[in-house]
Amino acid sequence: MLGEISGDLARAIQENIESVNKKNINARSPPRSSTSLPAVFVYSPRFTFEDSGIGGEGTEIKDDKKESFNGDGVRTSFELEGKPQRPLLRVEAPSGQVQMENVDYRMDYAKGSINFRSAPPKGKNNVSVKYNSAAGAGKTKQVHLTVVCNVDVWAGNEKQRDDITVDVISAVSLSQEKLANEGKQVKPVEGVDLYGDAGLPDKVCAKRLVYQVEANLEVKIPAPRIERVDVRQLPPK
């Protein structure tokens, strides 16, 4: 995500500026040695992050799966390709005839196998099992990122530096709406001159534009699988 934000800003400048060769607009930190001028470098020196939303609990997600089998009138056990969550959503054998767990069939959640009390009749894809996949189920939570992005403008003289800086500001402004539609809010913060004590190569005039970019990072938390339930009788008090 952090590299993506720097890359998006660099591409925004490339698409909306004519005063700098596109090959000289890079999503990386400036080099310590001389380079082809003029040039623009976009990078993130720091960022902060925090849970987004009330309590940071996230939103539950489910991954429905459906598998079908051919009944042959003899076979009673069928192996699922995926690992289902408890309970199964719907079992039909044959199609349209709903089967009840622990009455018409038993499900081994650890092995992913369903075992019918009576063999389903012969037919093509007439045994269907719908379930929530353990692999895809879980929760998503949002982590809010506030990323500081530096845009360093390098040129061979002060006038060229200042002119390109204005072009870069315009280029980013033209892309703010597009980036906002992609979930990235770009806000200008400040601009400063850079001098030799900032590690610039000789004969390089530079300015730094500082932007703040806010975005949400979606994190998926897998749901734990319940494969076995033990019921024990407590001793009398």
Exposure letters 51-85 (e unless 16+ CB within 10 A, then b): eeeeeeebeeeeeebebebebeeeeeebebebbbb
Question: What are the φ and ψ backbone dihedral angles of 177, each rounded to 5 degrees?
Answer: -65, -45
Tokens representing 221?
Answer: 């938390």
Helix (H, G, I), strand (E, B) or coil at 15: helix
pLDDT for 61: 61
Q: What percent of the chain has pLDDT over 90?
A: 68
Sequence-distant (≥ 6) Cβ neighbours of residue 156 within 8 angstroms: 37, 38, 203, 204, 205
Exposure letters 188-199 (e unless 16+ CB within 10 A, then b): eeeeeebeeeee
- State how far the alpha carbon of 209 is from the alpha carbons of 40, 56, 114, 130, 206, in Å: 10, 33, 62, 55, 10
- pTM assigned to the model: 0.62
- As a whole number of angstroms, the distance between CA 27 and CA 9 comes to 8
Band of residue 76 on the pLDDT scale cut at 50, 70, 90: very high
CATH of 2-55+140-222, one of 3.30.2000.30, 3.40.1000.10, 3.40.1260.10, 2.70.150.10: 3.30.2000.30
At 9-43, the pLDDT tens digits run: 999 999 999 999 999 999 999 998 878 999 999 99
Residue 168 has pLDDT above 70, yes or no: yes
Of residues 44, 32, 232, 25, the one with CA closest to residue 145:
44
**In the chain, what are the domain boundaries?**
2-55+140-222, 63-136
At 93-143, the pLDDT tens digits run: 999 999 999 999 999 988 899 999 999 999 999 999 999 887 666 677 788
- As a whole number of angstroms, the distance between CA 92 and CA 159 comes to 76
- As a whole number of angstroms, the distance between CA 25 and CA 6 comes to 11
Q: C-alpha angle 50/56/60, rounded to 5°?
A: 135
- As a whole number of angstroms, the distance between CA 154 and CA 9 comes to 17
Q: Under the phi-then-psi rule, with left for phi > 0, alpha for psi from -120 to 50, and beta for the rest, what region is 129?
A: beta
Sequence-distant (≥ 6) Cβ neighbours of residue 62 within 8 angstroms: 132, 136, 137
- What DSSP character marks residue 214? E
